[in-house]
Structure 1
Amino acid sequence: MHDGSFSSYTLGITPFGSTIPLKYLSLLVLVVQNSALILVMRYTRASVPDDQLYLASTAVVMSEVIKGLACVGLLHYSGPPHQRSLQRLTSLLHRELITNWRETAKLGIPATLYLIQNNLQYVAATNLDAATFQVTYQLKILTTAFFSVVILKRSLVRLKWIALGLLTFGIALVVLPKDASAAAMAYLIGNNEDVSTLDQQSTVNINDVGNQSNAKGFFAVLMACVLSGLAGVYFEKILKAPATKPMPEVVNTRMDEEAAESLVEGNKSTSASDDGMDGGNSGRGTAKRVVVVDHDDDDDDNDDNADGQGGIGLRDIHGRREDVMQTQQQNQLWVRNLQMSFFSILLGLIFVVMLQDGATIVQKGFFVNYNSLTWLVIAIQAFGGLVVALVVKYADNILKGFATSISIILSSLVSVWFFNFTLSGTFILGTALVIYSTYLYGL
């Protein structure tokens, strides 16, 4: 029954999941998410006058609002249907966000880093074409590896160091100015008279770009990659921190919450929580003990246990405990994302929206220049991270690297067709090295 996937009530897996293998479904989701965000974001930001651009600061905040609401919904529907209630959800949120405020406060640092990173993505999408943005953004692999070695004290094998070297060299070729790369190629093949012509053409092309500034875009990508690597490693360190107060769980699949609460009040020695199935202890480590509730219920249709008595049979304990542990692990992901969204919304409204665009918002409104594509970008950014965080469970490193490679190729082709992007020789060579190094790093 338990093959490593989550239970059906935890994820709501439908027969569709059995039609397409989950690893290939993960590949499809990763490709779509990696490509769609950059392409749509670039489309909504490229060659648009400054007075017609929507505010990136408000878009980032709205993305965090949607992501937070999605996490609340996922927490509500994470348990079995008979245990879903507003009271249970409120109790869980109060405990995780307020009672355990020390754990919540730890997420303030990565939330701040991700907030700045998301704003920098809009700056990069405004100033760089989608293909260049997609390739150079893979520099986050290098920054993540660097912070993993420095903060988590990891050691990388020689193959990964080679992959990181190829990645750096490939990105250097991609960011090389087109006129410089073309002049170098012309010099190598002996067409020196074309160099001055290339310089004149490049000057004209730069003037036709509109509000694009390559230098500003490359700096934004570089800073976004640094912040992404630091935030990711710091977040991983928080998740892997040793638990301080492990709590037991009540495995109770047929009693309602009030009955479970009465049991707890009558049996203080167990120190069991009445909402163990909701994963509320997920942020405090794995339970050491499982309290099995034995009871009789004439209205229950599932009383024919292995032992022929009311209650939970011994052979069911391990399977149901696995369901509890899987629910806990999944809830921890939603709780952590909700905590980071809380800080991102708060800090984003105060230090980004109000300080940076407060005058514009007072004059034109919070949703100035929003349209359907703006909301599409916000939705992809909000749900993309949650979906990817969920499906990467089924995808190994090689498959994730393959998805990234397909995304880079797809973004480059779409940029040629829709954004009049020109593929230079150095760009193709650099992109090939980035794709190969991504695959090599995942081995």
Structure 2
Amino acid sequence: MLVKSLTRIREVIVTSSVLACEVVKVICALFLLVKDGSLRTLFKEWNLIASLTASGLPAAIYALQNSLLQISYRNLDSLTFSMLNQTKLFFTAFFTYIILRQKQSIQQIGALFLLIIAAVLLSIGEGSSKSSTSNNPDEILYRGIVPVLVASVLSGLASALCQWASQVKKHSSYLMTVEMSIIGSLCLLASASKSPDGVAIKQHGFFYGWTPLTWIPVILNAVGGILVGLVTTYAGGVRKGFVIVSALLVTALLQFFFDGKPPSPYCLVALPLVLTSISIYQKYPYRVKKKEA
């Protein structure tokens, strides 16, 4: 909501906002490491191979994911974007099983499928609806729905890799934030050199379309990224996702109050499915059998 209200959303170059967010993340994470007194110890123990193993691949994945999300929420309304973005829970559960062998109960699997049904409803609704930010159904599909769904797959993979690094390899969450932001920014800069965004930055400058207010959502995004890293470390990727889904209620409320736009019929059907899936997932955790124990 802040991105849409505080920035000239069609003018700000995607790469510039993503890179600015990564720089703010590094500054915040370094400040927190200094504050808890662990920066010097981590600096002495740091080595390149361990860093690339823990943070390299997730960083590259998140850099691509962030760019896809920036494209997507420019072409979808806030609530639809948020709900489609929650399909990352299914992919997070899938990849945590593949990488960490973290199993789900039958009820939890059912809950994740409810989430996918909600996403499909939204895709069908938004593909034929004229209530989005664009009247072109093809633009809604290919520049709104498809990017956010691809980003969800990437998010699930990256989340599982981060959970592996923090829980199995005992890599510091704040250090991972710094490493991933730096590596992700380098990947983004390398790709931007030959992309339309890179050309736009050369022509118009890095801060083209920015105002002082543009920094507010950038800073909040950065702080949110650090908090998500902590939740992944201590609660795991799937639970992190279900916690974030609660933002749907806030998004719907804010969209109604600030835009005067009530949720679409598809959102009204999908929202209870999302909330039901959260309830089922939390209520029926996987229980280890005696043989497995």
Q: Which has the larger radius of gyration?
A: 1
Cα contact 2:256–2:262 (8 A) shared by 1:
yes
Change (3 A) 1:112 1:165: same
The answer to whether 1:381 aligns with 2:221 is yes
Question: Given that residues 134 and 408 in structure 1 are in contact (C-alpha distance below 8 angstroms), is that contact kept between their aligned partners in structure 2?
Answer: yes
2-structure distance, mates of 1:401, 1:179:
25
Q: CA deviation at 1:359?
A: 2.2
Output the TM-score relative to the length of structure 2. Answer: 0.83
Is 1:231 the equivalent of 2:158? yes
Distance 2:195 2:240 in 1: 38
CA apart distance, 1:418: 3.1
Per-residue CA deviation, residues 275-296 of structure 1 (Å, 9 max, x unaligned), is xxxxxxx64xxxxxxxxxxxxx
Instruction: Pick from 86, 109, 114 the counterpart of residue 138 of structure 1.
Output: 86
Residue deviations 1:74-107, cap 9 Å, x none? 222212xxxx9xxx74x743642xxx11011111
- In the alignment, the residues of structure 2 paired with residue 210 and residue 45 of structure 1 have an alpha-carbon distance, to the nearest angstrom, of 23
- Paired position in structure 2 for 1:214: 140
After superposition, the Cα gap between the structure-2 partners of 1:379 and 1:210, relative to the gap in structure 1 and judged at 3 Å, is farther
Contact 1:127–1:213 (CA<8 Å) still a contact in 2? yes
Q: Retained in 2: the 8 A contact 1:401–1:438?
A: no
For 2:49, the aligned partner's letter is: R
| Structure 1: tracts of 5 or more residues without a match | 1-38, 181-201, 243-281, 284-331
Q: Give runs of aligned pairs for residues 104-115 of structure 1, distance below 5 A.
A: 104-106=51-53, 107-115=55-63
Q: Which residue of 1 aligns with 2:66?
A: 118
- 1:412 equivalenced with 2:257 (yes/no): no
Structure-1 separation of matches of 2:138 and 2:262: 16
Output aligned runs, 1:237-386, within 5 Å: 237-241=164-168, 283=171, 332-352=172-192, 355-386=195-226
SS in 2 for 1:128: coil
Q: How does 1:50-65 map to 2 (within 5 A)?
A: 50=10, 53-65=11-23
Residue 397 of structure 1: CA displacement?
10
Question: Structure 1 residue 167 and structure 2 residue 115: aligned?
Answer: yes
Instruction: Indicate conservation of the 8 Å contact 1:64/1:345, yes or no.
Output: yes
Structure 1 position 206, deviation (Å): 6.8
**Residue 102 (structure 1) aligned with residue 64 (structure 2):** no
What is the CA–CA distance in structure 1 between the aligned matches of 2:230 and 2:203, rounded to whole Å?
40
Looking at structure 1, the residues matched to 238 and 137 of structure 2 have their Cα atoms a distance apart, in angstroms, of: 38
**C-alpha displacement at 1:237, in angstroms?**
1.9
CA distance in 1, matches of 2:198, 2:127: 40
Give yes or no for contact 1:144–1:232 (8 Å, CA) kept in 2. Answer: yes
User: How far apart are residue 241 of structure 1 and its match?
Assistant: 3.7
- How far did residue 164 of structure 1 move? 1.1
Q: State the AA in 1 paired with 2:79.
A: A
For residue 440 of structure 1, what is the aligned residue in structure 2?
280
Instruction: Give 1:424 shift.
Output: 3.1
1:214 maps to amino acid: I
The correspondence for 2:103, drawn from 155, 169, 173, is 155
Of all paired residues, the percent bearing the same amino acid is 27
Question: What corresponds to 2:290 in structure 1?
Answer: none
Normalising by structure 1, report the TM-score: 0.56
User: CA distance change for structure 1 residues 147 and 405 in 2, over 3 Å: closer, same or farther?
Assistant: closer
In the alignment, residue 113 of structure 1 is paired with which amino acid? I
- Shift of the alpha carbon at 1:357? 2.1
Cα displacement string for residues 352-403 of structure 1 (whole angstroms, at most 9, x for unaligned residues): 3664422222221111111133211210111112134446888899997885
Alpha carbons of structure 1 residues 213 and 361: separation in structure 2 relative to 1, 3 Å:
same
Amino acid at match of 1:62: A
What are the Cα deviations for residues 263-285 of structure 1, in whole angstroms up to 9, with x where unaligned? xxxxxxxxxxxxxxxxxxx64xx
Q: 1:212 to 1:74 in 2, by over 3 A?
A: farther
1:69–1:353 Cα change, 3 Å: farther
SS at match of 1:151: helix
Question: Structure 1 residue 421: deviation in Å?
Answer: 3.4
Residues 354, 442 of structure 1: CA spacing in aligned structure 2 closer, same or farther, 3 A cutoff? Answer: farther
Q: SS where residue 126 of structure 1 aligns?
A: coil
Q: Does 1:93 align with 2:20?
A: no
Equivalent in 89, 113, 125 of residue 177 of structure 1: 125
2:269 maps to 429
Paired residue type of 2:268:
I
C-alpha distance in structure 1 between counterparts of 2:67 and 2:260, whole Å:
26
SS of 2:206's equivalent in the other structure is: coil
Unaligned runs of 5+ in 2: 284-293
Partner of 2:286: none
- Structure 1 residue 134, shift from structure 2 partner: 1.0
